Each structure stands twice: as C-alpha cells, then as structure tokens.
Amino acid sequence: MDLLPPTTTTPLLRSTLHDRLVGCLVGSALGDTIGLYTEFLSRPSVLAAYPSRTFTLLPTPTLSHPDLHRLSKPPAHWTDDTDHALLLVLAFLHTAHTASPPPLPSQTDLAVRLRVWAQQGLRALDTMPLGLGRLVGTVLATKGFDVEPARVAREAWEVGGRRVAPNGSLMRTHPLGVMCAWRGEEEAFAVAAEVSMVTHADPRCVVACVIGTGLVRGLVRGEVRDEEELRGVVERGRAWFVGGQGDGEEEVLDGEELRRHVEAESLEELKLDEAEAIGYVYKALGSGVVVLHLAMRKMAEAEGGLLVRSKLFEKLITDLIMQGGDADTNACFAGALLGAYLGYGSLPDHWKHGLKHGEWLLGKAEALSQVMGLKTGKYNGQEDKDTLPDGGKGITQDEMEGRWMVLQAEVAKKMDEHAKASSSKPAKGSGWHVSMPWQSDKKRAKK
C-alpha cells in the first residue's frame, strides 16, 4: 500500500490535501449543477439561450432555458450524476470506522444503494430520482442485480450487441480517487474498474473510470502537477487495463479513438454536441482531460498566480458547458479534476455558496477528510443516518407516487407561468415529461 501517512506530514501539507479533497467533491457538484443549464442543447442553441455566457447561483440563480427537462429540477441543484457519486461517498463513510485503512465500497454496496436511489431518490436530502439512464435502468430492474451486479451488467451489454458505451459510470467514480489517495495507483485502477462494471461493462466505460480515478488520486496527492504527469497517468491507466482486465477486448476499447479524445487540443475538437453521441463516455473523459490540460497551461503561463487560479474554474467550466451536449456529466467529471487540481479555495464564491444543499455536501466532504486523516476530529458513520441506504427514513410506494404527482404539478405550473410571461408556447423540442424511474425518457438514452 502506497501510503502518505497524514499524521507525519506538516499541518500546511494536510491543509493543502484537505483543500484538494473538498475541492474535488464540491467542484464536481458545481460542474454538474452549472452544466444542467445547457444539457442536451446544441452549441448554437446554447449560444442563443445564454448570450452573456454568465451563470450564477448567488444571490439569485440564472434563469434556465425554459423546458420541462430543466424546470423539473430545483434551481441551483445538482443532478443524478452527483447523487450517484454520493452513493459511493456515503457507503464509504458508513463503514469507515470499522477498519484501518477504511474498506472501499464493494460492487454490492453500490448495487443496493443504486436500487434504493432508483425507487426513492437520495433519501438523506429527500431529492427525487430524476435522470435514470436507460442502461442503468435496465440492469437495476434485472433479477439478481443486487447479488451479482457485474454479471447482470455484462449480460445486458452483450444482449445490446456490445456497442453501448455511455458515460453513467464515469460520472460517479471520482470519489474513489479521493478514497484511494493513500493506496497504490493500481489498487485505485482496480476498484474503479469494479465500480464501473456494476452497471457499465463496456471496456471503454471501464478504462475511462480507471483513468479518471487515477487522475483524481494523483491530483489530490499533488503528483499530477503538469501536462507530462497528466499524460503519464492516462497512459498507465490504459496500459494497466489492456494488460489485464481488458485482455482480448482491445478492438472494442479502440485505442486510437481513446487517444484521439484524451489528446484533443480543444473542446471544439471533441464535438460534444454531436447528435446521437452526446453521452459517449470518451467525450466525457476527453472533456475533463482537455479542461485539465488547459488549466495547467494557464497556471504555467501565470506562474501559479492567485488571481488566475481564482478565475480558472469558472472560466473553464463555462467554456465547457457552452459546447452543449451532455453538459452536466462532462462538467461533473471536469469539475472533479479541476477542483482537485485548484482546491476548494479557488472555486467561485457565487457558485459554491449558492449551491442547494451545499452545506450538507461540505459536511460530508469534511467527514471524509476526517476519515482520511487530514482533519482533526473523529467521525463514525454508524452514528450518521445519512449514510444508510435509505437515509434512515424509509418510504412506502404510496408516498413515492404522491411525491411524483406533486412534482409534476409544480412543473406544469412553472411551464404555465413561463408561457404567460412570454405570451408564447414552449419551444419545440422541449416537450419533455417528468417521468418515474421505470419510464423511458430522453436522459435514459445516454446513461
């Protein structure tokens, strides 16, 4: 185990590592939240909807493009992308006191929590399970998923012709990089692969999670400081997968296409709003890697200046979501990398202090920092009901259906208010409905 024992480091170093850890979790949630503004829109539509290229959560959140997809979400709130990442955080915190080092989340840990989320949402916050992807919905509904999730996911991938490589596992695995900060790189690669395969068996999905987790781990540790070190992690992650887990699946992995995405020179080169491919996992991976490259170049040019650091996160996340496509997932992953690189202190105040449930999220990040030995104090997840799969609350199906009806009524009211205010009908292409988890919706096509 490749440890950096926090107890033997200086207070200044522990503070820096703590800042990166919290920056990763909060930065990812911010990217997800801001990305919702442009999710599923084409680049021309984004430019027309948000000509100022300015987004704020405080004091009043920027008004969203008025369609049912956006109006079904509370203002300044993250989406399912962050919810699923938090399932891993909560699973880790729940058992963190039982051993040293704390046990990493298992495949069945995540499987059980995903099923609860699909039925009840994130119970700790009473949020709704909006945005369940088609692939995830399929595997969750399959008998035996909670016992053998990887087998079920693999069979679903094979039944689908071994063609589908959506981004739904990449969006959730960044917390593993934090949890593995004191573990070896290959151990981080391995747990990332296992967690991806809970729902996403395609080699492209798995290698993306391996690379993403490795990058977060290296950034938090301060080992990924420049573009050469960034490329090193990407190549080691790819080589580890090809040399072991991906043996015999190189053709599906498509190494040349992987390189094309992780070595892109600009966001435009990735064509993130490409029709029928917006949820492709290599696009999400590429967007995060490109944004991190750009951040490192800016920091090198400015010689690490504090003024540049304080503006980089907002600028780069804004540039990314203005490309449209699957903007929330792209920015969720990119936000995790940027947050781990720049630290929590460099995240924009009018975003991080305006985030819905931001204080709750910060509290969980602080708890994780305590568990990782970076912050003083003791945390026992057994005493924190939020870490239970149902948030310690439970719920009946009748109650859940009632919550869905309330949400649908609220969204219908918002649409009516917008139509009256604009004296027009909702724009074409915005006729999305608020669907229950077992129903099909547009988001299901990508994850």
Query: Confidence band (pLDDT; 50, 70, 90) for 123?
Result: very high
SS (H, E, C) 254-282: CHHHHHHHHCCCCCHHHCCCCCCCCCEHH
pLDDT for position 429: 37
Give the Cα separation of 226 and 232 in Å (integer). Answer: 10
Q: Count CA atoms closer than 13 A to 73's CA, side-chain side.
A: 27
Per-residue pLDDT band for 6 (boundaries 50, 70, 90) equals low
pLDDT of 219:
98
Report the alpha-carbon distance of residue 36 to residue 41 in Å, rounded.
Answer: 10
189-238: pLDDT as tens digits = 999 999 999 999 999 999 999 999 999 999 999 999 999 999 999 999 99
Q: Would you state the pLDDT for residue 427?
A: 43
Using CA atoms, how far residue 413 sits from 62, 404, 418, 428, in Å, is 19, 14, 9, 19
Half-sphere exposure in the Cβ direction for 374 (13 Å, CA): 24
Q: List domains and CATH numbers for the chain.
A: 6-445 (1.10.4080.10)
As annotated, the binding site includes 79-81, 326, 328-329
> Torsions phi, psi of 249, nearest 5?
-120, 25
Distance CA 430, CA 88 (A): 33
Q: What is the identity of the amino acid at 191?
A: V
Asked whether residue 432 carries a pLDDT value surpassing 50, the answer given is: no
Ramachandran angles phi, psi of 280, nearest 5°? -65, 130
Task: Compute the half-sphere exposure of residue 432: CA atoms within 13 Å on the CB side of its CA.
Answer: 23
Tokens of 291: 């944004």
Percent of the chain with pLDDT over 90: 71
User: What share of the chain has pLDDT > 70, as a percent?
Assistant: 90
Instruction: Please state the pTM of the whole predicted model.
Output: 0.91
- Vertex 72: Cα angle to 68 and 78 (nearest 5): 125
Amino acid in position 98: T
Query: Once rounded to an integer, what is the mean pLDDT over residues 331-336?
Result: 98
Q: Is the pLDDT of residue 1 over 70?
A: no
Q: Which residues pair with 280 in a beta bridge?
A: 166
Rounded to whole angstroms, how far apart are CA atoms 187 and 211? Answer: 12
Instruction: Provide the pLDDT confidence category of residue 425 given band limits of 50, 70 and 90.
Output: very low
Separation CA 373–CA 97 (nearest Å)? 12
**Is residue 358 very low, low, confident or very high in pLDDT (cuts 50, 70, 90)?**
very high
Would the pLDDT of 262 be above 90?
Answer: yes
pLDDT recorded at residue 304: 66
Residue 160: half-sphere exposure toward Cβ, Cα within 13 Å: 20
Residue 339 has pLDDT above 90, yes or no: yes
Out of 15-29, 107-121, 127-141, 143-157, least confident range: 127-141
For 272, phi and psi rounded to 5 degrees? -65, -20
- Residue range 144-170: average pLDDT? 94
Instruction: Round the average pLDDT of the chain to a whole number and report it.
Output: 89
pLDDT at 415 over 90: no
Residue ranges for the binding site for Mg(2+)? 79-81, 326, 328-329
3-state SS assignment for residue 301: helix
Which pLDDT score is estimated for 435?
A: 43
* Cβ neighbours of residue 274 closer than 8 Å, sequence gap 6 or more: 283, 325
